[in-house]
Structure 1
Amino acid sequence: MRKINRIIENNRRNLTKKQVLILTLGITMLAQPLSIAIPGAAYAASSTTSTTAAKSAQEQLVRVYEEMITSGAKRVDYKWANKTGTGARQSNVHVIEVDLTNPNVKLDVMNGKTGAITGYASTGTMVKNSGAVAGVNADFFNTSGKGVPMGAEVLGGSLIASPSKLKGMYAFAVTADRKPIIDLFDFNGTVTAADGTQWPLAGINKASYTIEPDNTYSHVNAMYIYTSAWTAARPDVKDSSTTPTEVLVVDNVVTQIADNSMITGTPPANGYILRTHGKAAEFVRNHLQVGETVSSNYGLVSQTTGKAFDPGSLQMLVGGHTILVEDGKASAFSRSISGISGTGNRARTAVGYSKDGTKVYIITVEDSDNSQGVKLTELQQLMVKLGVWRGVNLDGGGSTTMITRPLGEFSAGLTFPTEYGTVQRLLPSGLGVFSTAPQGQVKGIKASGSGVLFIGQQATYEMKAYDTYYNPVDPGTLTPTWKSSNAIGSFSGNTYTAQKAGSTTLSVKSGSGSDELPVEIVGGNQIAQMTVDVSSPVLEQGKTGTISVVAVLKDGRKLTVPASSMKWEMKGFKGTISDGKLTIDSIDEGAKAGYVIARYDGFSSVAVLAAGADKKFDDFEQTTYPISFSSTNGVVGTAAIVAGLSENAAAKALQLSYDFTGGSGTKAAYAVFNTTGKALEGKPSAITLDVLGDNSLNWLRAEFIDNSGKAHLVTLATQVDWTGWKQLKVNLPADQMGYPVKLKRIYMASIEDGQDERSLTGSVAFDNISFQYAALVAEPPRTKIQLTVGAKSATVGGQAMKLDVAPLLLKGTTYLPLRFVTEAMGAQVAWEPANKRVTVLRGDKLMEMWIGREEFLLNGLRKKSEVAPITRSGRTLVPIRLVSEQFGLSVNWDGKAGTITVE
């Protein structure tokens, strides 16, 4: 859910039973995955299959996966294309279909704080705490408020929050007789004094806000009722621009009246507090007395039909935003979508129902490395294609989260990455799916485990069991037997070792029950790029740093390659790689650079290390220069060196506090070093610092000023999504900065787009800032080489030399003997006869070529040449242009004389 911060802030600126296992297993399961799991992520499966690929490439919405969650609810995944034909942008759509005719499933509201309307929690926590089997974020809220949804809420048949008086804010409900509703609702209620006098209630359990379109304060001259579900502080003078008079009612008797003040504490379970102001407070003074009875009555009214709804007639209700689909067609938006990034490609959450009212569609769209998100107009289109007759928007992007329980699993988990990866935003409410089914007999079993592996990787697979209601049962008394459909890997018990690239099907059998799981073993020919990342590029004996390998496949997937699948080579130094860490044991004599070469199934990449050092910038213990605060667009805050933020209470750190609630547009709060910046020594290549995070999801950046006065902005963290201390290490754009440089400031920023998804106030701290100085890998000295086509004689630096094979002119391409040229130019060359592969290391470049293949690799990137290397007289010859372009050599060709000059 996204909060509508601008709307609100402008208000002021003022189960577990032990299950019995039945040993008779069903042979089939109702819904089996149609495809392999999402590679490289701990999320449930979602990708296309040969079946769906065989459908038309022109289809915009293609079903790719289906699995039961519980009786009456299943998860279905789709691929959505923003247009038909070539150039379409793909997005992943995840839908929970709920059959309202099935008595074994129900929908209800989940809250951030169990039993309360106020409080925050992640969607995953809400699902766990409420006992739901699936759930999504729901309703909108003000992130700077008290953790309360803006819309109405009916939980388990009880109205615990009234709707805010805002234009076009629709809500989704299910009646007690299991009929879905999407409508605009008003609140209607009265308080009756002992003398029979009545006063209208403005709402129940609401934070203060600005009423639309009147633009008036919500609590002025109004009476609100607060129940035990409201556990936060009630709106005070600062919140609401009103001084309250409050009344405590217990068992329908007035027990306390606080005139022009607030009652201490929260309402009891058998009572409530009336919060009044102005004319409503006058009603209290004139008609309510301690010891007298008082009664309240309230409910909801449809704005479109005028129909009154007793809360008991509703099973549940949760608030939303604009209407999206009406009568099976995209509808006009009922309120502005500018505040929820409606025209941008974002993650989305929505809910709708079918024309006959029997099916509810809970819809989410993923925004991640593998999915582009959608605009609201696209969301409307795909909802119509899904069969939605009436639908409402529930989110603006940043809160989009779906939690589902995989078939056979006892716990639910994240279905797909959020916009922040695995981080889930803290929210006040959600929409949950609950199973009400009794315990059933075992229906089937299910194979569970990774659907994507790398050669050499070991993975453990599990067998799950589920009953006739698709709820999990303990498979502990069953004995599974695992098999693979081919010989590209092997099982030892339930541990599978991938041995060759390809596709296989893993099967498990127990009694009469069986299941299959398709598994892909990635081959080197699928990789488009592979990157070796070393946390410190410094070549220094004893140095230890993290090392990881990430592969980008030709189909766009980005996967981490496990260390068990890699073959490592180290040149220029000796070291060890263990548990994701590289340790430099010793440096070869005379080595100016070190190379860590990672090989996987014929594909390679390299990380280059060079002599350098780490230099402390500041630990803020004895800072002698000024540090000040500055900001943009009305942001207020402080920047100061403080003690007591770390385990060592005496240690000091730089603390940056900020308040983004004022102003508009992109906002930033800066900690400024030495007024105009503090100069750095030499040419740093990276910055390391400790950051005390505030989980605000704001942007953390640093600004450097180079010798020409040009500013260089460096992202330290795209979102501060952690609390506590965390070390960050970020490379600097050394190739773009003119040295020397100054560190001018470190700052928190919140861009305007999606600003209401992030915290408006917070505090971070910085400590132990240092810079890394990795010397550039020196280019070998340039030497002039002269060769003649057809001649085995040459000169290198003016000295005559003999060649084993002469340069060759073939079909308009000039070939040079690779070993002679590269070694003469200071490169290292290795030949692997078995694979007909030649490896060349020169400067900071690793190049690999194969005889007869036009494809080659340069620093882990797959490229293609117009012609391939060849062999003559047992020697490798390469196209001169290939070498010159990739290694930066200068090549001159004299066609008349038939001579080649390389330098």
Structure 2
Amino acid sequence: MAQHTQQVRPKGYLLIAPLLAGALVLSSSLNGGFVPRSYAATALTYQLVKQTDAIVTSGVRELSYGWVPSDAKLPTEAIHVLQVDLTNPYVKLDAMGGPKGSVTAKQSVGAMAKETGAVAGINGDVFRTGISTEAVPMGAQITSGKLLVSTEQLTGMYAFGVTNDGKPMIDQFTFTGKVTAADGTTFALTGMNKSAYMTEPNKAYSHMDALYIYTNAWTAPERPVNSSTKPTEALVVDGIVTEISVGTPIKTAIPANGYILRGHGDKTAADFIKTHLIVGEPVQSEYALQSLTNGATYAENAFQMMVSGHTLLVDQGVASAFTRNINGVSGSADRARTAVGYSQDGSTAYLVTVEENGGREGVTLKELQQILTSLGAWKAINLDGGGSTTMVSRPLGEFQIQLSHPTFYGTTQRLVTNGIGVYTTAPQGELKGITASGPRTLFVGGQASYSLKAYDTYYNPLDPMGLAAVWQLDKAIGTFNGGTLTATKPGKATLSVSSGQASDKTAIEVIGEAQISQLTVEPSSRVLRPGAVISVPVKATLSDGRQLSVPAASIKWEFRGFTGKAEGGKITVDQVQKNATAGYAIARYDGYGTVAVLAPGTEKTLEDFEKATYNVGFAGTPVETVGTTTISTGILGRENSKVLVMDYDFTNGSGKRYANAVLNDGKGISIADTPNTLTLDILGDQSSNWLRAEFTDAKGKTVYITIADKIDWSGWKNVRVDLAAGGLTGQSKLTKLYLVNQEEGQDERAVTGELAFDNLVLQYPPAQIAVPKPTIVMTVGKKDAKVDGKKVTLPGAPFNRAGTNYVPLQYIAAKLGAIYQWDNAAKKITALRGDRMLELWVGSSKMILNGKRLAATGTPILLKNNVYVPVRVITEQLGMKVEWDPKKKTITIH
């Protein structure tokens, strides 16, 4: 018996990527035990609210819903639905797969749709990933009436199909088949085009003593890899055995009119091939799918299509017990989800995705069940989720499909094994209408271009050539000029377009301050020095969970402690004020502010590789990891300069894998003194791998610091690394730049790629911004106070209102060394101290600290031209402590 070198775990145990930092992974038994957030003891509930409804083609609508929590402080999750009328004669569903029909080569849902002409689609079956298996669907796949992949012997796995008469079906299936030799001897077929796996519930090796059939849809080099079995194979062409190979795979390519029978076992399948199949004689292979529910048998052409999934979610209109353990798909955690179901009368199919991106975290499987029943699903199953979740569609009037919503990676689509495509077979009709094409969400000051699109009587696109467009906005949220909208103020409006008798309306939203929950700016450098040019990208997180990049043109900048200018997403420092301990670059969008705090310091180039004379090398772990590290020219974007290049290949490794760019034979590059920041340019490969650096400090201790949690970008990007936070102190050496392909969730990351590094710059600003830390003692009702033991007179006496102590803000801020600013028109206070910016409004409980919206314990009050604030609001938010003595009625700030 051949030795089994590695157990292959089903993809259902690997398909979800590592959760975001701070997320909680909850385990449950097969049927639960975890109470989802919408039904917890806190009485938190969710409601499904329809938000948009658009036509894709005749018989297909794309709808979006909000999964709205009863607690308004929590984000609204985004649900996306393709609603397909299965009774429409011009609509069909089909299974999409790999390039040119391959079942072992992955591609994105968008690429599948483009290749096959689908007008919409979602990702499909769960699948195994990694170097020890092929990316083959775990369940059955039928495309255009042809079985391409059989089911695996696993418990509780369900599939979605559409029969030849257009009826949807969700059921458990098993594969049944046999091969009949010319002498009449038969042998059972175990499966078609399958990777190696462990069967359930008996945990047997799938290909041991078994006979499989492989067609030309299997394009991987082995049949299959890592099966722990030695094959005996027969090539069959047009029903005739043309070649037999005992103990080794057949080298001949499988033709479209042929297949290979692969057997193992001297007394079983391999023996059948050796003993009963003869070159030149006929052989017959037949197979079908059998329902595990009612025993009915179905030929492959009984179905138009079939895509399999994971657990059953809905049965007879109610949430079902999970038919398969959901731990492997993080079923009790909030994640992106994909599902498919149909209505009670079988007339409507629902293709559903749940978004996970930015502030939207997705849902649990129990929540997904409630969403599906709310949509009207009578029966539904779970498909592959997490990073695989993808929906594409063709907007009305457009010729090309596009992402319906962000994926886990943003605009990047993960390569998957198959999907469900939506197709139209309608002929070209007459002009029915027009539609406006362009962005729906803008920022004040931003611009967007709109164009006229046309569609026919079947809602399929027509060339709009010759149609003149007239544009109008019903509300003055912007100005229109030649098809370009410039947003001038926040709000919602309807954009109308007309051409002759045809017209269309679309909703336009300009984001306003009230929608923002956090505004962030990540400067490429925090060193305050004349001549510094600093990239300052700004992002907004909205109260509904959306995370959007704010255009540079929409940001207004204010500078404190220095003078400068802002242009094109960068600020240039002109002059630094004498004795300034900090510089504050305040970014405002529609009045909402955040800050980048800069400090005087120096910068020193650590390495630009132009004159590097030391050796660089590559080291990989495990030993199967291969790659190279070189200092090269001609790299894209750095064609005329030298950069450090590392390419890597994790394909033949297993477990956690490392690719190391080793500097100076491991002796490293010397770093003087104690910098607190390293910036470097990185050419990313969008691999989602973890990028780190290895240092050796002055005491010889190894220090590891993360550069990027995941490389989620392509092209050159400047990255800032906080060395102080990573624990690097004293003179040190940079010894390695290295990549980690973690074992958990490896299916979410690339195993091959190339990175490049350039312009490593060290920053030496002060370790901490110096601020006064006085001890201030005040008494409620008295103007007399003490500052560091010295008597002072306050501009107004502290007072207590509704159990909250109020103090004069401007005076306290000045003693704490804060820069104080009063906006009389907005009744707004801005206080800058150390690395913090606090903003408050008279009469309002809202508070913004470093760009994050918070709720204050009390509202600022304006009395006799003095602003009073709750003492804990001003002091604790600016980094001080407060003590209250109720007997003496004294307030101590220190």
Confirm or deny a common fold (TM above 0.5).
yes
| Compared CA separation, residues 564 and 651, structure 1 to 2 (3 A) | closer
Residue equivalent to 1:295: 284
What one-letter code is carried by the residue in structure 1 that aligns with 2:709? T
1:757 aligned to which of 743, 747, 765: 747
Matched, 1:129 2:115: yes
Q: Which residue of 1 aligns with 2:858?
A: 866
After superposition, the C-alpha distances for 1:863-887 in whole angstroms (9 at most, x for unaligned) are 5463536374xx6555593654454
Q: 1:808 touches 1:815 (CA, 8 Å); kept in 2? A: yes
Corresponding residue to 2:719 among 718, 726, 729: 729
* Inter-partner Cα distance in structure 2 for 1:644 and 1:517: 52
Deviation of 1:312 (Å) = 2.0
Specify the code of the residue in structure 1 equivalent to 2:97. Answer: N
- Equivalent position SS for 2:115: helix
Report 1:524-673 matches (<5 A): 524-588=513-577, 590-615=579-604, 642-643=629-630, 647=634, 667=656, 669=658
Q: Which residue of 1 aligns with 2:249?
A: 262
1:686–1:729 CA contact under 8 A, matched in 2: no
Matched, 1:149 2:149: no
| 1:462 Cα deviation from its structure 2 partner | 2.9
2:78 counterpart residue number: 92
**2:618–2:627 contact (8 Å) kept in structure 1:** yes
Distance 2:349 2:115 in 1: 23
% same residue: 44
Write the distance in 1 (CA, Å) between the matches of 2:186 and 2:845.
87
Alpha-carbon contact 1:679-1:740 (below 8 Å) kept: no
Are the counterparts in 2 of residues 791 and 806 from structure 1 also a CA contact under 8 Å?
no
Match of 2:37 in 1: none
* Structure 2 counterpart SS, 1:385: helix
* Match for residue 426 of structure 1 among 415, 428, 431: 415
Which amino acid in 2 is paired with 1:135?
G
Distance 1:476 1:300 in 2: 50
**For the structure 1 residues 897 and 311, does the alpha-carbon distance in structure 2 shift closer, same or farther, using more than 3 Å as the test?**
closer
Alpha-carbon distance in 1 for matches of 2:12, 2:653: 8
Distance 1:253 1:892 in 2: 92
Instruction: State the alpha-carbon separation in 2 of the partners of residues 471 and 455 from structure 1.
Output: 34
Alignment of 1:404-483 (within 5 A): 404-483=393-472
Mapped partners of 2:404, 2:75: distance in 1: 21
Change in CA separation of 1:877 and 1:456 when aligned onto 2, cut-off 3 Å: same
Q: Once structures 1 and 2 are overlaid, which stretch shifts more, 598-607 or 650-659?
A: 650-659
Partner of 2:379: 390
Deviations 1:37-93 (A, max 9, x none): xxxxxxxxxxxxxxxxxxx996633333222211111122223358x6788774322
Amino acid at match of 2:201: P
- Matched with 1:173 is 161
- CA change 1:394–1:273 in 2 (3 A) is same
Of stretches 569-578 and 63-72 in structure 1, the one that deviates more from structure 2 is 569-578
Give the Cα separation in 1 of the matches to 2:749 and 2:888.
72
Matched, 1:6 2:9: yes
1:718 counterpart residue number = 709
Q: Distance in 1 between matches of 2:447 and 2:366?
A: 44
How far apart in 2 are the matches of 1:210 and 1:847? 58
- C-alpha distance in 2, partners of 1:791/1:7? 73
Q: Over residues 266-290 of structure 1, what are the superposed CA-to-partner deviations in whole Å (9 max), with x where a residue is unaligned?
A: 2122322333333433333333333
- Aligned counterpart, 1:21: none
Instruction: Report how far residue 413 of structure 1 moved.
Output: 1.3
What SS is found at the alignment partner of 2:88? coil
Q: Aligned partners of 1:825, 1:85: CA distance in 2, in Å?
A: 37
Shift of 1:626: 11
SS of 1:124's equivalent in the other structure is helix
Q: Is the 8 A contact 2:438 2:450 kept in 1?
A: yes
Q: For residues 867 and 62 of structure 1, what CA distance do their matches in structure 2 show?
A: 34
Deviations 1:173-225 (A, max 9, x none): 11111111222223333334444444333332222333333433333333332
User: Which residue number in structure 2 is paired with residue 49 of structure 1?
Assistant: none
Distance change (3 Å), C-alpha of 1:91 and 1:733: farther
What residue identity is the alignment partner of 1:180?
A: P
Does the 8 Å contact 2:706/2:721 carry over to 1?
no
Does the CA-based 8 Å contact 1:440-1:467 persist in structure 2?
Answer: yes
Q: What corresponds to 1:377 in structure 2?
A: 366
- Closer, same or farther: CA 622–164 of 1 in aligned 2, 3 Å: farther
Q: RMSD over aligned Cα, in angstroms?
A: 4.6
Whole-angstrom distance in 1 between the partners of 2:181 and 2:890: 108
Unaligned segments of structure 2, at least 5 residues = 1-6, 15-42, 636-640
Q: CA deviation at 1:365?
A: 1.8
Distance 1:141 1:505 in 2: 44
Q: State the Cα distance separating 1:470 from its structure 2 match.
A: 1.7
**TM-score, length basis structure 1:** 0.80
Instruction: Name the CA shift for 1:370/1:529 in 2 (closer, same or farther; >3 Å).
Output: closer
Q: Do the aligned partners of residues 865 and 738 (structure 1) sit closer, same or farther apart at CA in structure 2, a change above 3 Å counting?
A: farther
Write the mapping of 1:17-166 to structure 2, written as runs, cut at 5 A.
Answer: 60-80=47-67, 90-144=76-130, 145-166=133-154
Compare 711-720 and 296-305 and name the one that shifted more. Answer: 711-720
Measured against aligned partners, the alpha-carbon deviations of 1:744-768 in whole angstroms (never above 9, x if no partner) come to 9876556776x26335855776745
Give the 3 Å change call, closer, same or farther, for CA 103–777 of structure 1 in structure 2: same
Q: 1:732 to 1:130 in 2, by over 3 A?
A: same
Q: 8 Å contact 2:8–2:198 — kept in the other structure?
A: no
Residue 19 of structure 2 corresponds to none
| Greater mean deviation of Cα atoms: 509-518 or 742-751 | 742-751
The residue number in structure 1 matching 2:177 is 189
Which range is displaced more, 610-619 or 243-252? 610-619
Give the drift of 1:565.
2.2
Name the CA shift for 1:117/1:888 in 2 (closer, same or farther; >3 Å).
Answer: closer
CA distance in 2, matches of 1:159, 1:284: 23
Cα distance between partner residues in 1 of 2:617 and 2:285: 61
Determine helix, strand or coil for the equivalent of 2:369. Answer: helix
Residue by residue, what CA displacement relative to the aligned partner does 1:15-58 show, whole Å, maximum 9, x if unpaired? Answer: xxxxxxxxxxxxxxxxxxxxxxxxxxxxxxxxxxxxxxxxx996
Question: Quick one: which of 754, 773, 778 aligns to 2:764?
Answer: 773
Provide closer, same or farther for how the CA distance between residues 502 and 297 of structure 1 changes in structure 2, counting only shifts above 3 A. closer
In structure 2, C-alpha distance between the alignment counterparts of 1:501 and 1:428, rounded to whole Å: 43
**5+ residue gaps in structure 1?**
12-55
How far does the alpha carbon of each residue in 1:458-494 deviate from its partner, in whole angstroms, 9 at most, with x for none? 2223333222212122223222222222334332232
1:844–1:507 distance in 2 versus 1, CA, 3 Å: same
2:351 pairs, out of 362, 371, 374, with 362
Q: Tell whether the 8 Å contact from 1:96 to 1:361 is kept in structure 2 after alignment.
A: yes
Matching residue of 1:46? none
What code does the residue aligned with 1:95 have?
A: V
- Comparing 734-743 with 475-484, greater Cα deviation is found at 734-743
TM-score (norm 2): 0.81
Deviations 1:573-597 (A, max 9, x none): 4433332223334545554433322
Counterpart of 2:585 in 1: which secondary structure? strand
Post-superposition offset of 1:773? 2.9
Shift of 1:135: 0.6
CA deviation string 1:238-289 (max 9, x = no partner): 6222222333333333333333322324212232233333343333333333
